[in-house]
Amino acid sequence: MSVRILALVGSLRSGSHNRQLAEAAARHAPEGTTVELYEGLGDIPFYNEDIDTDSAPASAVRLREAAGRADALLLFTPEYNGTMPAVLKNGIDWLSRPFGGNAVSGKPTAVVGTAFGQYGGAWAQEEARKAAGIAGGSVLGDLQLTIPNSMVRFAETHPADDTEVTDQLVEIIHRISGHVTQAAPQAA
């Protein structure tokens, strides 16, 4: 069984270490698993139930369709003022609808990331796990990767070239895939 994991990156910055971390996950994904980086999270308007109608914004529809095609989600988040960035929270909000039948309902979801601080974005990851779980995702809370001091650690090395980081990412992707394949017979 081939497993498709949709990666949502909570940083829009072109040199984002979290984007680089997602690129590393895509590059080092084990055989039989694809990690697809979602492009366009910043193009989606802030969630507003008044515009979430039969003609929802095309950017939100694209996100929902991408999540619908995926078997699992992998969220990459920096930490902004002790929490996740608004763009990631907004993506989760759009994915949480329609209530009870959304594109992430029951899908294995993991949250990882890197941040400048000494805790590697742990608070942001906790908030993202909470929001993704309330949105209906099956949050894999035991899969955690917090990488502190990103500005120093990745100043001269791309995360894809950091063996310790890639080993941890590959392990997380393996475990996400295991949750997907374990759930597949039950869904059939």
Q: What is the pLDDT of residue 187?
A: 52
pLDDT in tens, 26-79: 999 999 999 999 999 999 999 999 999 888 999 999 999 999 999 999 999 999
Please give the model's pTM, rounded to 2 decimal places: 0.94
Rounded to an integer, the average pLDDT of 138-158 is: 89
Q: How many structural domains comprise the chain?
A: 1
Higher pLDDT, 128 or 149: 128
Report percent pLDDT > 90 for the chain: 80
Instruction: Look up residue 172 and give its two tokens.
Output: 């997380």
Contact 121, 146 (CB under 8 A): yes
**DSSP for 82-105, written as a single string:** TB--HHHHHHHHHHT-STTS-TTT
CATH code assigned at 125: 3.40.50.360
Could you tell me the residue range of the domain that residue 71 belongs to? 3-187
Beta bridge partners of 83: 80
